[in-house]
Structure 1
Amino acid sequence: METIGEALSGGRDVLFEGACGTGKTLAALVPALEYAREANKTVVITTNVHQQTRQFIEEARAITRQESIQAVVFKGKLDMCHIDVGYEECQALRDTTRELAETEQERAELAETERTLLDESRAREGANADQAAEGRNAVMEELDELDDTLEELQEQATCEYYYRNVTEETDAFYEWLFADVRTPEEIYEYAHNAGLCGYELLKEGMEGVDLVVCNYHHVLDPMIREQFFRWLGRDPEDVVVVFDEAHNIEDAARDHATRTLTESTLESALSELESVEDRRTTSAENVIEAFYTALTSTYDDALAFGERETIGDEWYDLSITNETGRDELTLSFLDAYTGAGIHNDLDRSLDLGNSLDRSYQQEYKNGETRTRKECRILQSASFIDDWLRDSDHNEMYPVVSVRRDGGNDSVYGRSELYTCIPRQVTEPLFEELHASVLMSATLRPFDVLSDVLGITGYVGDDDEQDGPVTMAYGAQFPEERRRTYAVDTPALFASRREEHDIQRKITGVLEDAIEFTPGNVLCFFPSYREAERYQALIDVDATLYLDEPGASVEERKREFTGSSNGVFFTSLWGTLTEGVSFDGDDARTVVVVGVPYPRLDDRMEAVQSAYSMAFDGNDNDSDDPGWEYAVEVPTVRKTRQALGRVVRSPEDFGARLLVDERYTMRARREMQKYSVVETFPPEERTETIDIEPEKLRFGLLNFYTDMDAWVGAPPTP
């Protein structure tokens, strides 16, 4: 806490790794709130894991029992809207409703003035009476004009919930809000029962609060962040952000930076142009129709014979790379374009789109349309402009994908600018914030994280550049109450997963792990397919649970934790790897099978290539920073997260198994580049015990016997 407090005082970022269950949230939150109180800052704590949000609320409630702080939990509009409209529609409704309420207020004030002047004209005599009467007539004229305005406004679409916000007393809401830390669901219910808009009340009441709990979305999206900080009444340099599960920032930022345009949006834009009378439509047709033609021809050419029939309802990537220069979609677009000047046509298209978008806003505001119309011309032209500018950038990867329309069974396409390196989103954020704390159980290696996110440090009083403060704490619970084994089975390379001998050996290890664990076993695999494979191969006296894509993982988790001899099979890349606790008897042994590298598709190879180019000159020992930054480090972080699902308190105990020879110290000596041991922190490498598969049962039997965990006689090896 002292280290974090000193870093925040100096405006420095903090990279904070602490083992699962050791109190990272309070260790970061307490000094951040203390510093913010002294320096007149606001603390924002954010995560992308729902369970962690609930934990933040509990922590904030505990703090408010001891210290007088104002804390709010903020959620997006779509989750809190009482009438279920989109953002643009909401904005238009809000503007019209406020104008209506303000006009009504103005009319009421003028009506009061008119009555006062009438009384004065009756009470006075001579010139004074005439002056009062003349003033009253002027007010009456204004009232007539306001009545006409009100009549027009009353015919337009408004929001009754927001109308009550601006016309009724809301002090009771804020007294209730700040009496405790309220969840978004509680705010929604309270506001709904009162006929108010809780989302808008929350926005208007956030200024000057001490603590805000929110999702990554509100901080990582540049447009939303600007509004969010405005609601807080803070400039970015007056905000301290605490990121939980910060190893996820990279993927979340990549999602926010990635841009897409579907074939259906292009079709809608072309249809929209048919109804527009404007000289700029020719320019817009030139670029949008050419891009539409290019997109459809590109995916038609890229699909192999019979491949179209295999496409399902998930987006399916097609390779459009061209070794001689620009990608195939760009080349096809430039070939299809027939106008006089592509950049001039794009500028005119954007002008037209912006004009139409403003008119759609006004039409909805005036009640001429029931919904706020989206300008597909603007969306298409903006994306095409981005594509021409960025698609050949080293940090971007142009993609064409297709999927099947469930309604008519046709295949349609999407163009995408996939962001390989997310620092274009994160680097400006860390530069403009006063400071931040990035915390997770799996942040290391810190230099990789700093490079990828663009956390370069700060300039101190002596104008010397300094990096972030780094701090790491390993498992704080008694070491004798946990056991970590690296089981020396053959490496489960993707190319060898079908080999029966390897399957037999891994199945034997899993069966031993299950038989010699007095309780539930949690098993992670490189994919759902592998999880399903070994669930079918296992022959044990236990209840087997399979996590399948699309199934309710929460329901399966409840069934699993409610059993006393269950085995849960899931993918390491699923939802149970992090942010989910398996305390005590919920799970005793956790098993990670193989080194679960993500599928090395074109996107991953593009990320790897971008990282290689971006970080090849960095001061690191890696022969291939692309592989290290893009694949190995994220995979080992995921593996460490999985191991952290068990042993969650000082009283807890359990075993963690890494089933693959690449985790062993022998592999470090003999397999060299295939070994992943060096990617683990030193204290975790020291604690891990190499073990032969046939000896695992004895190791588990002895460990759980030492823990006095067996009910009745233990199994016999």
Structure 2
Amino acid sequence: MDELADDIRRIDFHHPYTPYDVQDQFMSTVHNVLQKGEGQVGILESPTGTGKSLSLICAALTWLRDHKRDSHEGSVADAAKAFKDEPDWIVEQMLKRKREELVKQWENREARLKDIRDKERLLEGRGSKRRRIETRGDGKAGNVSEDNDDDDDDQWLLGLADDEDTLGQDASSSLSRESKELMKKLGLGPLRKEEEDEVGDVGGNEVKIYYTSRTHSQLTQFIAELRRPVFPPSIPTALLDEDSTTAKEGVKHLPLSSRQRLCINPSVSRLGSLSAINDRCAELQQAKSKDNCQFVPNADNLHLTHQFRDNALATLPDIEDLFGLGKKLQICPYYASRTAIPGAEIITLPYPLLLQKTARDALGIKLEGNVVIIDEAHNIMDAVANVYASGISLSELRRARQMLGVYVKKFGKKLKGENRVRVAQVARVVDGLSGWLDNALNLKADQGIVDPNALLKSKGIDQINMYKLIQYVQGSKLAYKIEGYVAQAEAQGDPHSSHTASLSTPVLHTLISFLVSLNNLSSEGRIFFHKMLNKDSQDIKLSYLLLSPTHAFSSITSSARAVILAGGTMSPFEDYTSHLFPDLDTKKVTTLSCGHVIPASNLCVWTLAAPKPKDEGSGIDFEFSFQKRSDKAMIRELGIAILNACTAVPDGVVVFFPSYGYLDEVVAAWSEKSASQPKSIWERLEAKKSVFRESKGGSSDEVLEQYSKAILGDEKEAAKKTGPSSSQTRGALLLSVVGGKMSEGINFSDRLGRCVIIVGLPYPNITSPDWKARIEYIESTALKRLTEGDVKMPRHEALAAAKQAARDFYENACMRAVNQSIGRAIRHMNDYAAIILIDRRFGTEKIRAKLPAWIRGGLVEGSESGGLGQMMGRLSSFFRSKQS
């Protein structure tokens, strides 16, 4: 700890503001993990409102610039070793020349980028150059382009079976020789030209930071933070002249995204679905394609590619900026952005592009020796599962069969050889899966695990070489061509296509994704079925679920120099080490749970275990387990507790329930009247505050807007408020669900969230097939590891430990969801709020240990033994102190 304190005092992280102690601690820990390198992993928790993103930037880029300077010094020292037997004057001359070359190369690059920045400010200014995605519509997007000529249906015809450029190969294999050579240069290395034009070459082999987050908006916010700090140059300042105009080195940032966000070809981008866009893009680059995309980098527009690269590295762009730059230069930003990768220091990208190795390879991303930062990492295990998830419903299969019928009716006589065989095989697969699902509709169970062998026996699907079929479909662009033709036929009013789906529903692409999962089944994955009951119809779906992220994530941890998992609510930590990298040496894992930036007096955490204090005898205990939560008396006492809390708490109160079903049950019980109470609890709540509730299918934006308006109202009136007892502090009550739309990403800061109430522990449904499969998988893998490892445990002990590992995973999933909901309240250093945990189990040490450190620090000691009366006294004094 003393060593860490010394590091904190010694390192200048170039934070644009005076950092709090917790920020210094966080930055120093990040820096320490990166400095150690060699496969290090950091699992770091910093509450929302503590400037986590800015701290990540300052720590990581401070380390990176230091590392670069050390590397430059090291390269000079290595050069000196080669001349160790030469006279000193020769060595000195050589070192001088080496340093001068290094400085000149750096200064040329920085001067060039500075000129670009100066021109940008002069011509447009930072604000006016912001172009948003909606500006893509230039009046042409909805028109049928030349490559979609109504009079020429042959564009949808499959290529000849002996055409090596089009069949059975991946997208990159289907490019012309010129395109393949150029794409190799663009994706795998910098374009070669004269040295003075090679801005992207400088730093090409240096360490990079890959930063990923969950949503596009979170990446945009991160880039905004990236513009705040200023860092010293990556070259030793002693080598620079004092009057050097390029001594300030800007951060070189590059955002990466999919074609769906970056394609500037209207005839391609209008296709909507990512799969269709990818297929059409690849098709336009095939050697024998009659149409070519004029925006793809080639020998004729090489200067535009360089210009795009230089502008990207000079201006800290976000995805919209790259799209706008591509439109301005008329060069494809998806491909041109690859040329900027070698010169970039920090690269931002969404989860799927980092988590899938195939996506990384397609973009030319090399993790070896580089740093990976995963923000909002509390849901990283779910994110990995979602990336590899797939599914297909019976209704989608029926639409796919109709599409195949329409296509074959038009082109059947022109299909020869392998094309005819493969199209027939796709139809057979569709019929086989449809037949199995048709039979499954008669099963009593609404959901369950599917035996893949039984599934593949339907209609003899198991006799088809699925691997070769998938290769053919992907290489021939079969899904795109069938869906494209059907969409065109629909637009022209073809009677044969009247009952088929439009291109906006890419069912054949969905089918292929499911077949890929089916073909890659392993012990880590399962297939499930579940019935979907609608008002007018019944449907059933097959879904593939990855049970463990270990194998998928291992390619990242085994390659990267260091991996940082950061989030506002990472607790409990055990799951990350147990399920993301179970074989990693514990000495290589660093964990940190930061405190909050708020003073301790701004947080009041109360555990309400029962309505009455413990010493007043046995009354009703609050325990919202599945077996007990329907107790009418307990639900009534819950309503009274929340009613009392609404009396003491000003402005906004947000209550989180375990599920939508239970919220409906509670509201129904609260709405009932009794002889002793002329007004229902629901009516009494409405008399205290405006009441709003989240619904499973409703609009969260609309509810949130109404809730906010009820609290904030007229700001002039709000300024007149004098305290909790004022009639003007009525505020609002919002009933939400843990894991619902309000529990993550919503900001209940200040008056919107003066109190957050958690009702019960939202354990997942342990009887559902997917959770049964997860638990069984964790138990079996833990048992295998404990009985077959270097230190073999007796089987009965190993079995008990394996069952405990599964229980811990189940409990941790529950507590991560709770912690996310709690984190909605305190959003900045001047914020204050009360948190009420209503369930006796929150008073147990096992559950409390899984709460974030800053929440544990705010717990009122002994509150679990107190009752509603003591809680009201504490809340009243807490909020009175804030109003004085």
TM-score (norm 2): 0.61
For 1:332-371, what aligned pairs fall within 5 Å after superposition?
Answer: 333-334=456-457, 336-337=459-460, 342=462, 345-346=465-466, 349=469, 353=473, 356-357=476-477
- Quick one: which of 697, 704, 707 aligns to 1:557? 704
- Measured in 2, the distance between the counterparts of 1:550 and 1:194 equals 43
- Does structure 1 conserve the Cα–Cα contact (< 8 Å) formed by 2:401 and 2:430? no
Q: Cα offset for 1:242?
A: 0.8
Task: Report what 1:609 is aligned to.
Answer: 776
Q: Cα offset for 1:204?
A: 3.7
Helix, strand or coil at the partner of 1:604: helix
- Measured in 1, the distance between the counterparts of 2:707 and 2:300 equals 46
- Measured in 2, the distance between the counterparts of 1:373 and 1:588 equals 44
Helix, strand or coil at the partner of 2:654: strand
Task: Report what 2:96 is aligned to.
Answer: none
**Residue 25 (structure 1) aligned with residue 207 (structure 2):** no
Q: Cα offset for 1:467?
A: 3.0
- Does structure 2 conserve the Cα–Cα contact (< 8 Å) formed by 1:45 and 1:213? yes
Q: Cα offset for 1:177?
A: 4.2
Write out per-residue CA displacement over residues 200-241 of structure 1, whole angstroms, 9 at most, x where no aligned residue: 44344343211122211110122112223x1xxx52114211
- Measured in 1, the distance between the counterparts of 2:736 and 2:48 equals 20
Count of equivalent residues: 613
Helix, strand or coil at the partner of 1:496: coil
Helix, strand or coil at the partner of 1:495: coil
- Does structure 2 conserve the Cα–Cα contact (< 8 Å) formed by 1:426 and 1:453? yes
RMSD (Å), alpha carbons: 4.2
- Does structure 2 conserve the Cα–Cα contact (< 8 Å) formed by 1:524 and 1:571? yes
Task: Report what 2:435 is aligned to.
Answer: 296
Q: Cα offset for 1:519?
A: 1.6
Write out per-residue CA displacement over residues 534-557 of structure 1, whole angstroms, 9 at most, x where no aligned residue: 567332321222222344423433
**Residue 156 (structure 1) aligned with residue 156 (structure 2):** no
Structure 1 unaligned spans of 5+: 101-151, 308-316, 322-326, 459-464, 669-674, 710-717
- Measured in 2, the distance between the counterparts of 1:291 and 1:91 equals 23
**Residue 330 (structure 1) aligned with residue 453 (structure 2):** yes
- Structure 2 CA distance for partners of 1:354 and 1:647, relative to 1, 3 Å: closer
Write out per-residue CA displacement over residues 485-517 of structure 1, whole angstroms, 9 at most, x where no aligned residue: 111142112233433212101111111121111
Task: Report what 2:356 is aligned to.
Answer: 221
For 1:380-395, what aligned pairs fall within 5 Å after superposition?
Answer: 387=518, 390=521, 393-395=522-524
Q: Cα offset for 1:659?
A: 1.0
- Does structure 2 conserve the Cα–Cα contact (< 8 Å) formed by 1:43 and 1:241? yes
> Which stretch shows the higher mean deviation, 207-216 or 157-166?
157-166
Helix, strand or coil at the partner of 1:443: coil
Helix, strand or coil at the partner of 1:62: coil
For 1:232-631, what aligned pairs fall within 5 Å after superposition?
Answer: 235-263=366-394, 264-265=396-397, 267=401, 271=405, 275=412, 276-278=415-417, 289=428, 292-293=431-432, 295-303=434-442, 318-320=447-449, 327=451, 330-331=453-454, 333-334=456-457, 336-337=459-460, 342=462, 345-346=465-466, 349=469, 353=473, 356-357=476-477, 387=518, 390=521, 393-403=522-532, 411-454=538-581, 456-457=583-584, 466-489=587-610, 490-532=622-664, 534=666, 537=670, 538=682, 539-540=684-685, 541-562=688-709, 563-564=711-712, 565-600=731-766, 601-616=768-783, 624-625=803-804, 627-631=806-810
- Does structure 2 conserve the Cα–Cα contact (< 8 Å) formed by 1:164 and 1:196? no
Helix, strand or coil at the partner of 2:368: helix
- Structure 2 CA distance for partners of 1:189 and 1:381, relative to 1, 3 Å: closer
Task: Report what 1:69 is aligned to.
Answer: 251
- Measured in 2, the distance between the counterparts of 1:542 and 1:277 equals 72
- Does structure 2 conserve the Cα–Cα contact (< 8 Å) formed by 1:52 and 1:579? no
- Quick one: which of 188, 202, 220 aligns to 2:337? 202
- Does structure 1 conserve the Cα–Cα contact (< 8 Å) formed by 2:432 and 2:458? no
- Structure 2 CA distance for partners of 1:168 and 1:294, relative to 1, 3 Å: closer
Task: Report what 2:318 is aligned to.
Answer: 183
Helix, strand or coil at the partner of 2:373: strand
- Structure 2 CA distance for partners of 1:708 and 1:99, relative to 1, 3 Å: same
Helix, strand or coil at the partner of 1:29: helix
Helix, strand or coil at the partner of 2:529: strand
Write out per-residue CA displacement over residues 659-703 of structure 1, whole angstroms, 9 at most, x where no aligned residue: 1111114xx5xxxxxx63343357744642323134322221011
- Structure 2 CA distance for partners of 1:161 and 1:285, relative to 1, 3 Å: closer
For 1:23-62, what aligned pairs fall within 5 Å after superposition?
Answer: 23-37=51-65, 38-39=67-68, 40-62=206-228
Task: Report what 2:103 is aligned to.
Answer: none
Partner letter of residue 81 of structure 1? C
- Does structure 2 conserve the Cα–Cα contact (< 8 Å) formed by 1:443 and 1:449? no
Partner letter of residue 565 of structure 2? L
- Does structure 1 conserve the Cα–Cα contact (< 8 Å) formed by 2:656 and 2:758? yes
- Does structure 2 conserve the Cα–Cα contact (< 8 Å) formed by 1:622 and 1:628? no
- Structure 2 CA distance for partners of 1:55 and 1:92, relative to 1, 3 Å: closer
Q: Cα offset for 1:80?
A: 3.5
> Which stretch shows the higher mean deviation, 430-439 or 37-46?
37-46
Write out per-residue CA displacement over residues 518-571 of structure 1, whole angstroms, 9 at most, x where no aligned residue: 221111111234445556733232122222234442343344334241222211
- Measured in 1, the distance between the counterparts of 2:596 and 2:352 equals 30
- Measured in 1, the distance between the counterparts of 2:515 and 2:635 equals 49
Helix, strand or coil at the partner of 1:640: helix
For 1:106-121, what aligned pairs fall within 5 Å after superposition?
Answer: none
- Measured in 2, the distance between the counterparts of 1:96 and 1:289 equals 26
- Structure 2 CA distance for partners of 1:633 and 1:296, relative to 1, 3 Å: same
> Which stretch shows the higher mean deviation, 215-224 or 438-447?
438-447
> Which stretch shows the higher mean deviation, 165-174 or 635-644?
165-174
Task: Report what 1:80 is aligned to.
Answer: 262
- Does structure 1 conserve the Cα–Cα contact (< 8 Å) formed by 2:528 and 2:542? yes
Structure 2 unaligned spans of 5+: 1-26, 69-205, 233-248, 492-501, 611-621, 671-681, 713-730, 787-792
- Measured in 2, the distance between the counterparts of 1:31 and 1:632 equals 33
Task: Report what 2:149 is aligned to.
Answer: none
Partner letter of residue 697 of structure 1? M
TM-score (norm 1): 0.74
- Structure 2 CA distance for partners of 1:97 and 1:683, relative to 1, 3 Å: closer
Write out per-residue CA displacement over residues 79-135 of structure 1, whole angstroms, 9 at most, x where no aligned residue: 3334223556655765687799xxxxxxxxxxxxxxxxxxxxxxxxxxxxxxxxxxx
Write out per-residue CA displacement over residues 241-276 of structure 1, whole angstroms, 9 at most, x where no aligned residue: 111111111001011122334444563696478834
Task: Report what 1:105 is aligned to.
Answer: none
- Structure 2 CA distance for partners of 1:50 and 1:507, relative to 1, 3 Å: farther
